[in-house]
Amino acid sequence: MRQPLQSELPQVGGADRLPGNASPSIPKLVDTATLDLLSFWQEEDATADPAQVRAAEEDLAAFMKNLNESRTASGEPLVYP
């Protein structure tokens, strides 16, 4: 059996598996289109108007209260304790 030379690196996989050698057949790990859309929506909905912020907070509080009430009525655990 041949012994590898000190200068030879062991071959574990093909060159396509090395970092930086992205292959078109390998899917991206991050869906940038979705992140871009969410960022756009966040910018679109952003406001510094105290009346709009207060109204949004009231809507959220009502949503959480109603959801918890319906879960209590059906014997489910609370989502927003």
The domain limits of the chain are 48-81
pLDDT at position 11 = 54
74 — pLDDT class (breaks 50, 70, 90):
very high
Interior angle at CA 77, CA 71 and CA 79, nearest 5: 75
C-alpha 50/C-alpha 52 separation (Å) is 6
Tens digits of per-residue pLDDT, 28-47? 688 899 999 999 999 998 99
- Tokens 């930086």 belong to residue: 20
The confidence band for 17, taking pLDDT boundaries of 50, 70 and 90, is low
